[in-house]
A = this chain, B = another copy of it.
Amino acid sequence: MTPAAPAYRRLSVEERRSQLLEAALGLFAHRAPEDVSLDDVAEAAGVSRPLVYRYFPGGKQQLYEAALRSAAEELQQCFDEPREGPLLDRLSRALDRYLAFVDQHDAGFSALLQGGSVVETSRTTAIVDGVRRAAALHILSHLGVTEPSSRLRMTVRMWITAVEAASLIWLDDDKEPPVDELRDWLVEQFVAVLSVTARRDPQTAALVQALAADG
């Protein structure tokens, strides 16, 4: 080993695993999963290819799924929001964190949600669906609803899908409009679709009244 080589420190198994996942996420953020090789991950992490294989013997698919799981956890943390203050302010703050995540993960986020990737499987789809479900549960819980009517549940899930679509288009459109405007626009859409549902669902009508009285 020459003195120019990176300083070597023994990492714990968990530290090493995190390091490799972080390197992988960094690469997946800028390229489609099919364009990232294990060699690239080894190089980005400054380790040997066999070491990457030792941690992820299932190869790229396993590494991708692990990276995805780690990103999904990070994404779910965006939804954590104290139950204090006006509801729409809480939604705005959660959206700010979510949009920062989208901004940061960029191409990887697109590849994942646009589907048809070679690394997409029923397992990766399940991970993404888990995040969607978690988002819906967070929203309903902040709204104080434990037993949502089917129309309210459907409205919340439709809005979450629309937010995803907006994120992808926003990335495609070189992150226009500015993130603050996008956030406000999405919050206003949330109120607008709830108001439409309120016309046919008493539970949603009560929520819309509460939102208007809130803040």
Contacts and interface: CB of A to CB of B under 8 A. Distances in A.
Given A165-B157, A192-B195, A193-B193, A150 B122 contact: no
Given A116-B125, A120-B116, A162-B158, A193 B199 contact: no
B176 A150 contact: yes
A138 interface: no
A150 B173 contact: yes
Contacts of A195: 192
Contacts of A120: 115-116, 120
A197 interface: yes
A37 interface: no
Contacts of A62: none
A179 B173 CA distance: 35
A179 B153 CA distance: 17
A121 interface: yes
Contacts of A117: 122
Interface in A116-146: 116-118, 120-126
26 contacts: A114-B125, A115-B116, A116-B121, A116-B123, A116-B124, A116-B126, A118-B122, A150-B173, A150-B176, A151-B177, A151-B185, A153-B169, A154-B166, A158-B165, A158-B189, A159-B162, A160-B165, A161-B162, A162-B165, A162-B193, A185-B197, A185-B200, A188-B196, A188-B199, A189-B196, A192-B192
Given A150-B176, A159-B162, A161-B162, 9 more contacts: A114-B125, A115-B115, A115-B116, A115-B125, A116-B122, A158-B169, A161-B165, A189-B196, A192-B192
